[in-house]
Amino acid sequence: MPKRIAPLTDLQVRNAKAPKKEVKLFDGGGLYLSVTPSGGKLWRFKYRFGGLEKKLSLGAFPAVSLAAARQERDKARQLLAQGIDPGAARKEQQRVGQREEDTFKALAGEWVALQEGAWAPTHTETVKARLEVYVFPHLGARPVSEITPPELLSVLRRIEAKGIVETAHRVKQICGQIFRYGVGVGRCERDPSADLRGQLVRKPKVKHMAALTDRKEVAALLRALDDYAGSLVLRCALRLAPLVFVRPGELRHMEWAEIDFDTALWTIPAEKMKMRKVHAVPLSRQALAILAEIRTFSGGECYVFPSATGKGRPMSNMAINAALRRMGFTKEEMTGHGFRSLASSLLHEAGWDSTLIELQLAHRDTNTVRAIYNRAERLEERRKMMQAWADYLERLAAGQEEKIVPIRSAR
């Protein structure tokens, strides 16, 4: 006679600790609690139907109590007594009564909406684009609670097959965050991406953004920017980029309301910056001249560099890189982000104060006190550096290969 299983108690369920390997605590009648190494406590009902052993998920503790799990088990056993597979019955019920808000696409939309206030606009656009292009066509309409690790891996393998390994890893991270949000709001029981550790091709080594640093090549680049025959908006954006060396997303989201022509200062709000800090960009005489030129075209709009399609949007995030390709610069030679590397390399080479350069690049300063002091006291030094940089680029484009002369720190 088989040994009778002692029913679980609420205290046993609450006190169950995360083990090194999955542990099953049986309650009887096919019901058991699966305790995972990550600390999850998942109710399962094990049964046989058509000669096959099957399992039915009944929810996670504490959202589903011991008493509630037993009720669900009893309902499943009643279906078995009627010759009905409880797993198949649930799937049919979900198919008939599936709500749109239970799909992966709907859950992802909720999650993105919650993050937008904390993200830079460019990052938000990137996340949305990755979901739209790579995930929604395959998983968007699927009930989020039914998506399995193999299904998600299939999506990621498609991305890998395109040769964009880094993107596959990014998409996996995004999906993992969405599933974990779903667990928190009770729309799914677990994150299937957690089971895919080590399944993807190893990430490629991080490469620095392509940028020209040889003076003759930089001079040729500057002349090509001046001669660009495209739209006025793109031509001005290209000419301004090397003078301010901000990130491409910060440049294309530049607004007229952020520019003070009287003080020659562009103040970028914290929500647009990668480090979520207000960033001041001193504007050289040359930068102001470019802004005055584009002002005659877009001065009545929100964005300095508006989209060609209108609708109150900034120019495309691909516009600058596409223009560089049309001018003959490959992605291995120069990118929109490369203007930052170009400025950093040549300014460091010329002996400028590294702290000034890093501050103007808006890189994170690990010394909080020093970072506050820099932002409050070194604006005038940065003004001088930015004007010296603009003057140097002007001479370089004219064929005068003079070195930039650093100023003595004013501290």
How many helices, marked H, and strands, marked E, lie in the chain? 17, 7
Instruction: Decide if 253 is catalytic.
Output: no
C-alpha separations of 305 from 44, 243, 261, 315 in Å:
57, 16, 17, 6
Select from 289, 236, 240, 282 the least CA-distant residue to 263: 282
Q: Which of 73, 337, 378, 382 is catalytic?
A: 337
Q: Give CA–CA dist 314/373, Å, rounded.
A: 34
Q: Which two tokens stand for residue 132?
A: 């739209």
DSSP category for residue 143: B
Select from 283, 241, 238, 239 the least CA-distant residue to 259: 283
Instruction: Decide if 363 is catalytic.
Output: yes
Say if CB 294 and CB 241 are below 8 A apart. Answer: no
Instruction: Decide if 70 is catalytic.
Output: no
Q: Which of 340, 378, 382, 392 is catalytic?
A: 340
Between strands 265-268 and 259-260, the pairing is antiparallel
Say if CB 57 and CB 32 are below 8 A apart. Answer: no
Say if CB 189 and CB 145 are below 8 A apart. Answer: yes
Instruction: Decide if 274 is catalytic.
Output: yes
Instruction: Decide if 235 is catalytic.
Output: no
Q: Which of 172, 235, 247, 382 is catalytic?
A: 247
Between strands 23-28 and 265-268, the pairing is unpaired
Helix axes of 215-226 and 232-244: crossing angle, nearest 10 degrees? 150
Q: Give CA–CA dist 130/32, Å, rounded.
A: 39
Q: Which of 24, 55, 285, 363 is catalytic?
A: 363
Say if CB 176 and CB 191 are below 8 A apart. Answer: yes
Instruction: Decide if 373 is catalytic.
Output: yes
Q: Which of 77, 215, 274, 313 is catalytic?
A: 274
Q: Give CA–CA dist 266/343, Å, rounded.
A: 18
Q: Which of 313, 373, 383, 395 is catalytic?
A: 373
Between strands 259-260 and 52-60, the pairing is unpaired
Select from 359, 344, 342 the least CA-distant residue to 218: 342
The residues annotated as belonging to the active site are 247, 274, 337, 340, 363, 373
